Structure 1
Amino acid sequence: MSQHEITQHPLTTAAGHTIVARSFSVAATEPANKGVCVIAPATGVAQYLYDDFAVWLTQQGYQVVTFDYDGIGLSVDRHVKYSRSDKLSWAKYDCPAVLDFVKQHYPQQPITWIGHSVGAHMLGFMDDTSAIDHAITVGAGTGTWWYNAAPTKRVAWFLWYFLVPATVPLLGYFPGDKLKIMCNLPKGVIMQWRRWCLKKEYAIGYEGDWLRQRFAAVTTPITALAFTDDDMMSMKNVKMLHSFFCNAPQQLVTISPADVNQKRIGHIGWHKKRYQQLWQQYFLPALG
């Protein structure tokens, strides 16, 4: 057995499809178990990309569970065009399946939900977050395109008004791999995302009061980590998303690359091994 045992778990959701989660166990040489961290990925970011961070968490004494949403990474049964999922179904079926797995395998242990980008949105999309003791959101904000950080804003209008409407209805999925923009995404995911990003209040602006009330029902304490050089999320995006969690105790921590002796953090990449100073300096206090 390796120092950090990684086990793969196929999970059947209430909708009948299968997603794949993986568990990272605390080695016998590590500190006593402090609880469970669930890493909820950003859109189109496969779970294995968080492995460095997951292993580091085990070294701090946490059990870790990662997973791929339906249509992403290991959770693609056939070609992505056959996936019928969207972001709300990820929250309705995939995330609860992961939480059920965690509660079954790590009973009575505190659960920390670490949500990267849309992984944080899942807190407001899920029917019930009562099993989650604490949440850490990372690079998480609304997708309203005209509020996006400048690098994303320059291309978002083309993506949402031209590229997605031209390719997705024809192919039945978003061909991100071929276009070298994100990755392949299910039709339901990209089209729903587009609808939301064209609204001032993002998903709530499109879906309406039922979703606003669901965000407001979340009382899980949240620590929000935001990066000053995030090339996707502006601080306006970040603050708007977290304002929807109006009944959750919150702390916003703003981090610049210079704070952790880096030239860049951005939106994707903070979970790579070279950012261990970031983890030590900001995640450890957030984990409590």
Structure 2
Amino acid sequence: MPNKNASPVTSEQVTIPVAAGGAVAGILRTPSGSLPTAAVVIHSATAVAQRLYTGFAEYLCENGFAVLTYDYRGIGASGSPKVNRNLRMRDWMEQDVPAAAEWMAGRYPDLPQFAVGHSLGGQALVLNNGTEGLAGFVAVGSHGGVTRAVKVRKERIRVTLVLRVVGPLCARVLGFAPARRLGLGEDMPATAVLEWSGWSRQPGYFFDDPSMHAAKRAAQVKADVLAVGLSDDLWATPAQIGPFFGHLVNARVERRNYTPDDGGVPAIGHMGFFRRSVKDSLWPEVRDWLGERIPNRS
């Protein structure tokens, strides 16, 4: 007799080594009682712990995907931000993201590989990190994070104070930024905050940082890309998202913008796409886009 209380998702705690040193803590979720048809890695936003993506990861699992979530080093379960004070944002993008992608590809070498990047996670994918062998990737709320481009004045002032004054000061004095108290997610390593602060002052964000070689790297991306924007996202506005994905000159980029009405909710913002309140309205859009790129399922 079947167990009606059995979970449709099996979860496994995993530790993934990073070649540069240290490791990231993750959770691998797989469909219970059946083999997955594809593999997905979810790359988090800046200072956002993987728990935000739990519902979305479980949803994809229930639809046949094996899904990996993880925390960047110095965030959440992947170590103290103070101990990891010298980690830069680019280290997350260039080291942690590929490490997670390579681990998942090694775990499921015969499955189509996909990625979903949120904000910073999508930025990393646009810079061709963790994209080798991908059948496609989805980027949600990924943008050029320039503070002066934030249209709502109150939010622009708040973000400017945090990224240019309070955050850098705390980073230098404490060795980390108390981002949780500042309303920016999990506490962050000092150097990551300082690098973020510098990029946020540039009109082209890290595309104006010559050490990033960002335009060249973005031009190397050739996978299918779905760029998702939310109309009430105060940070990733259409003015930020459009030019950012314009750097993917050799990729097939599809843009979709959703409103709270599309989601059937009062608000979505920068984080709300991954909350269960839009499970029935917006998540099927991503599920179907991924599914169309699985051989024999399109």
User: TM-score surpassing 0.5?
Assistant: yes
Verify: 1:94 aligned to 2:96, yes or no.
Answer: yes
Q: Which residue of 2 aligns with 1:10?
A: 15
For residues 174 and 282 of structure 1, what CA distance do their matches in structure 2 show? 36
Letter in 2 for 1:262: V
Q: Which residue of 1 aligns with 2:296?
A: none
Kindly indicate whether the alpha-carbon contact (under 8 Å) linking 1:177 and 1:183 is maintained by their aligned counterparts in 2: yes
For residues 156 and 117 of structure 2, what CA distance do their matches in structure 1 show? 23
What per-residue deviation string (whole Å, max 9, x for no partner) do you get for residues 243-279 of structure 1? 1212111000011111121111110122122211233
Kindly indicate whether the alpha-carbon contact (under 8 Å) linking 2:60 and 2:287 is maintained by their aligned counterparts in 1: no
For residues 241 and 11 of structure 1, what CA distance do their matches in structure 2 show? 30
- Secondary structure of 1:133's counterpart equals strand
State the 1:127 CA deviation.
5.1
For residues 115 and 178 of structure 1, what CA distance do their matches in structure 2 show? 25
Report the identity percentage. Answer: 24
Kindly indicate whether the alpha-carbon contact (under 8 Å) linking 1:6 and 1:22 is maintained by their aligned counterparts in 2: yes
Q: Which residue of 1 aligns with 2:73?
A: 70
Kindly indicate whether the alpha-carbon contact (under 8 Å) linking 1:222 and 1:249 is maintained by their aligned counterparts in 2: yes
Number of equivalences: 284
- After TM superposition, what 4+ stretches of structure 1 lie above 6 angstroms from structure 2? none
For residues 199 and 118 of structure 1, what CA distance do their matches in structure 2 show? 16
Q: Which residue of 1 aligns with 2:142?
A: 140
When the two chains are superposed, the root-mean-square deviation of aligned CA atoms in Å is: 1.8
For residues 118 and 181 of structure 1, what CA distance do their matches in structure 2 show? 13
Letter in 2 for 1:59: E
Kindly indicate whether the alpha-carbon contact (under 8 Å) linking 2:42 and 2:67 is maintained by their aligned counterparts in 1: yes
- Secondary structure of 2:266's counterpart equals coil
Taking a change above 3 Å as real, the CA distance of residues 127 and 233 of structure 1, as seen in their structure-2 partners, is closer
Q: Can you give the 5+ residue segments of structure 2 that lack an aligned partner in the other structure?
A: 1-5, 293-298
Kindly indicate whether the alpha-carbon contact (under 8 Å) linking 2:40 and 2:115 is maintained by their aligned counterparts in 1: yes
For residues 24 and 211 of structure 2, what CA distance do their matches in structure 1 show? 29
Q: Which region of structure 1 is more displaced relative to structure 2, 194-203 or 176-185?
A: 176-185
For residues 87 and 59 of structure 1, what CA distance do their matches in structure 2 show? 32
Letter in 1 for 2:39: V
State the 1:207 CA deviation.
3.1
Verify: 1:44 aligned to 2:47, yes or no.
Answer: yes
What per-residue deviation string (whole Å, max 9, x for no partner) do you get for residues 174-196 of structure 1? 11233344321001211111111
For residues 248 and 208 of structure 1, what CA distance do their matches in structure 2 show? 23
Taking a change above 3 Å as real, the CA distance of residues 265 and 249 of structure 1, as seen in their structure-2 partners, is same
Question: TM-score under structure 2 normalisation?
Answer: 0.89
Question: TM-score under structure 1 normalisation?
Answer: 0.92
- Secondary structure of 1:277's counterpart equals coil
Verify: 1:80 aligned to 2:85, yes or no.
Answer: no
